[in-house]
Structure 1
Amino acid sequence: MTSDATGRSGLDHGKASLARVYNYYLRGKDWSSLDEETAQAVIRSAPDVPEAARENFRFAGRAAAWAVAEHQIRQVVDIGVGIVNDLPLPSVETCVLEVDPGATVLAFDNDEVVLAHARALRRGYGGVLRGDVTDLDGIFKHPDAVGLIDMAEPLVVILAAVLHFVPDAAAVMVGLRERLAPGSVVVLSHVTSTQTSERRVAGMTKAYDDKAVSPIFFRSQEEIRAPADGWDIVAPPGLVDVQRWSPDGTYVGPLYDTVRVLGMAAVLPGHQQEHVRAPGGAR
């Protein structure tokens, strides 16, 4: 799931689309030779990237479904959804509807490639709306979302592999805290520089800087955790590698040597949740 937080169009034919590069990692079919070239430049620095991307995708669906079932939230907003129809993996929407067929799932992206693809598809996630994670009012007040989501009630917001394309991730979390109803859940994942060699981080960063429409920002584990101030991080499992995220400990995937993606779910305080610790309790 990707989103170009710079606001630049994904139709820049001189640069790779973040959504199509991610689609390449996920073994989709909607990518160009330029996207493949960019993806391969990243993979040369960190050969585990495709596997980590697929585990990240599974994490997003697994955590979204858990939040809907555990917190009985029936509205989900997936920001930076990317191209998901052609993948050999279940999307967030599929996972959510499996646990609650009556749930509402809205998808947003600002990549013109994603939007054009969704318009052509006209089914499933064909309802992708234009929205940028750095403009939350544009998402939550989108005219086509009015009547579909109730901002007075809790939401599940998915930010999977999105905030590492945003220069100020903390501002996004503050913005969500100011807009969402208590009891809302944010599911997020982010690449980390913690326990990853500087050489590999530099190589992946350079590949995105040189070839993609947006740079990537590697952050330490603490820098990823910090924007969750004011939220209750669900623990267990806390902030962990995405392939180790499950509140009941039943999902345990392999760790990777060349790249790490961390994931967490965080609840906006206000509703009593016996399985969630007090604010900051997961630190």
Structure 2
Amino acid sequence: MTGPGLDYDKASLARVYNYYLRGKDWSSVDEETAQAVIRLAPDVPEAARENFRFAGRAAVWAVAEHQIRQVVDIGVGIVNDLPLPSVENCVLSVDPGATVLAFDNDEVVLAHARALRRGYGRVLRGDVTDLDSVFKHPDAVGLIDTAKPLVVILAAVLHFVPDAAAVMAGLRERLALGSVVVVSHVTSTQTSGRRVAGMTKAYDEKAISPIYFRTEEEIRALADGWDIVTPPGLVDVQRWSPDGTYAGPLYDTVRVLGMTVMLPGHLQEQADTPGGGR
């Protein structure tokens, strides 16, 4: 694929992630970056796959548990060729009538989507650092209603954003009470400083965007103004499960933390409503 804005001299975040997930849509420069990271932290591919499973699992929980029928997946990446079910697949398996919209600002993802034109092939241009580009996108008008609760997926996205707290604050301002945001983020907590420095350098030198490792406390602080769903709280993504039925092994060389957060007020509103429900 070629087109304006496409840069094949630098690794694409989406294609590197596709490589970790055992997809087929990556180039030699993406493989070079991915392998530089894997040499430092051999657990990265499996952690990435657990992160992908976490996103689908958390989305299903929000849709089934809270009957939220609109899902916005920001920074969706390239997911059509994976041996894993996408967020969209997972959501539609429990609610075939739900609306799932995908957004990305990566020209590689958008070009791939235009070529595919099926399933998650329809990806709208939107940037997590410019939430109006998502929630006011002309093609999203009539498909999502911000006056009603939404599920927003930010899986492995905020660790590429310098001011992640501003994104979470922006979502608080735009979303209805009862909305759920699914967040996952790499952490420097309990991870070798040498590995963190090496992985940071690999993205700085080879990829189109740097990566920002944050401590567990800094990631938890992103939920300021939100209620963290507990159990399970903020945990390694392979341990995220409100009912405790999903518990994958912990990794030695890299950690990805996950949490779901809800905009407070929904449960009280529901209790105050005659009949106690929607």
Compute the TM-score of the two structures, normalised by the length of structure 2.
0.94
2:248 is equivalent to residue 253 of structure 1: yes
2:180 is equivalent to residue 178 of structure 1: no
1:131 and 1:112 mapped to 2: Cα distance? 11
3-state SS, counterpart of residue 182 of structure 2 = strand
Residue 84 of structure 1 corresponds to 79
Please list every run of 5 or more consecutive structure 1 residues that lacks an aligned counterpart in the other structure.
Answer: 1-8, 274-283
2:210 is equivalent to residue 215 of structure 1: yes
Please list every run of 5 or more consecutive structure 2 residues that lacks an aligned counterpart in the other structure.
Answer: 269-278
The amino acid across from 2:147 in the alignment is: A
Residue 191 of structure 2 corresponds to 196
1:10 and 1:180 mapped to 2: Cα distance? 31
2:43 is equivalent to residue 39 of structure 1: no
Residue 92 of structure 2 corresponds to 97
The amino acid across from 2:241 in the alignment is: S
Residue 235 of structure 2 corresponds to 240
Do 1:10 and 1:213's aligned partners in 2 also have CA atoms closer than 8 Å? no
Equivalent position to 2:257, from 262, 269, 273: 262
1:143 and 1:86 mapped to 2: Cα distance? 28
Residue 276 of structure 2 corresponds to none
Do 1:177 and 1:268's aligned partners in 2 also have CA atoms closer than 8 Å? yes
RMSD, matched Cα: 1.2
Give structure 1 regions of 4+ aligned residues with deviation exceeding 2 angstroms.
none
The amino acid across from 1:16 in the alignment is: A
Residue 271 of structure 2 corresponds to none
The amino acid across from 2:25 in the alignment is: D
Larger radius of gyration: 2
Q: % of aligned pairs identical?
A: 89
Task: Give CA-to-partner distance per residue, 1:117-164, whole Å, 9 cap, x none.
Answer: 111111101110000000001100000000000110000000000000
Task: Give CA-to-partner distance per residue, 1:59-105, whole Å, 9 cap, x none.
Answer: 00000011000010000000000000000000000000011000000
Compute the TM-score of the two structures, normalised by the length of structure 1.
0.93
Measured after TM superposition, the shift of residue 10 of structure 1 is 6.8
3-state SS, counterpart of residue 115 of structure 1 = helix
1:272 and 1:83 mapped to 2: Cα distance? 35
1:215 and 1:126 mapped to 2: Cα distance? 26
The amino acid across from 1:80 in the alignment is: G
Equivalent position to 1:54, from 41, 49, 57: 49
1:234 and 1:80 mapped to 2: Cα distance? 22
